[in-house]
Amino acid sequence: MSKDLIVKKSKIAGKGIFANKDFKKGEVVMKWQISKELSRREVEKLPLEEKHYIYPSGKNKYILMQAPERYANHSCEANTIPGDNCDIALRNIKRGEELTSNYTKYENKVGFRCNCGSKNCTKKIIS
């Protein structure tokens, strides 16, 4: 794991990823380890708790996210966006800030309750 990131307890949900340095808008904050590419059939066989860490990467292709990227929690006011197998800063991010992404743009879920705490929180995620 990069020394620029720390995984620790999150106020949003379970574990989260936190910046260990300042990141500038447009900077790659995290590159994904993509060796765990799966087919739809392989995804369907995964235990339910592992399905939370699936990211669609093409037609009938999925990445099983590894640590630390699997701990990027959802926020309705996310500070990163997925790029080419990475997360990119949507704005300047300060050291100590939790890295978040907006799951509604790419998740493969029916829905779940949002705990992001932002003032514009939708309270639920449906993709």
* pLDDT for the residue 127: 53
Provide the 8-state DSSP code for 97. Answer: P
Mean pLDDT of 8-32: 94
Q: Average of pLDDT values for 41-54? A: 88
What DSSP element (H or E) covers 38?
Answer: strand 37-39
The residue type of 19 is A
Q: What is the per-residue pLDDT for 13?
A: 87
- All structural domains of the chain: 5-125 (2.170.270.10)
Say whether the peptide bond before residue 82 is cis (omega within 30 degrees of 0): no
pLDDT at position 37 over 70: yes
At 100-126, the pLDDT tens digits run 988 776 545 556 677 788 887 777 776
Give residue 114's pLDDT.
79
**List of residues 6+ apart from 89 with CB closer than 8 A:** 23, 24, 25, 26, 27, 28, 29, 79, 80
